[in-house]
Amino acid sequence: MFVVNTETVPGFEVAEAKGIVQGNTVRAKHAGRDIAAGFKNLVGGELKGYTELLTESRREAMERMMAQARELGANAVVNVRFSTSAVTAGAAELYAYGTAVVLEKNGEETADSQVAPPELPVSSSDSE
């Protein structure tokens, strides 16, 4: 599945827009991590526990979004946006939404309608 945050993809054209797809998750770290983060706050620096929390949440939210897109029969999600919000102290929500579309290679309009883009670049889910 192709997941991008641009509206169009060079070399492909949007054959069909299927509609909005979304995924969200609210996660928390255990109290030990919260306490460790409190100490870290004294000296400054990266709060690794919370970075990890965001990474897991984003993966989960994207997975859910892509699952919805697959259900609609799309082969890509374009114009993906992320938004975060705090629910309580120490718990964060991550929300991902985009438009599920069917992409087709440019200049092959008459080919089979079920063109799965071959060997697409891997989505950004592992690019930390």
Partner 1 sequence: MGDLIVFLLRLFVLIPFGFICGRFSEKKHLRSLEERESAISGFLVTDLKTFPKISSTSKTPEMLIGEVTIATDYFKTFAGSLKNFFGGEMRGFESLKTRARREAILRILEQAKAKGFNAVCNLRQETADIGGSTLSKKSAITVSILASATAYSTADGNG
Q: Which residues 54-83 are close enough to bind partner 1 by CB under 8 A?
A: 60, 78-79, 81, 83
d(CA 13, CA 101): 10
Contact indicator for 41, 11 with CB cutoff of 8 Å: no
Q: Does position 89 bind partner 1 by CB under 8 A?
A: yes
- The 3-state DSSP class for residue 66 equals helix
d(CA 75, CA 77): 7
Q: Does position 95 bind partner 1 by CB under 8 A?
A: yes
Q: Does position 10 bind partner 1 by CB under 8 A?
A: no
Residue 17 CB, nearest distance to partner 1 (Å)? 4
Residue 105 CB, nearest distance to partner 1 (Å)? 19
Residue 113 CB, nearest distance to partner 1 (Å)? 17
Q: Does position 18 bind partner 1 by CB under 8 A?
A: yes
Q: Which is nearer to partner 1, 88 or 118 (CB)?
A: 88
Contact indicator for 49, 39 with CB cutoff of 8 Å: no
Closest CA to 14 of 109, 121, 93, 118: 109
Select from 11, 19, 38, 121 the one that contacts partner 1 (CB under 8 A): 19
Select from 50, 63, 90, 115 the one that contacts partner 1 (CB under 8 A): 90
Contact indicator for 127, 86 with CB cutoff of 8 Å: no
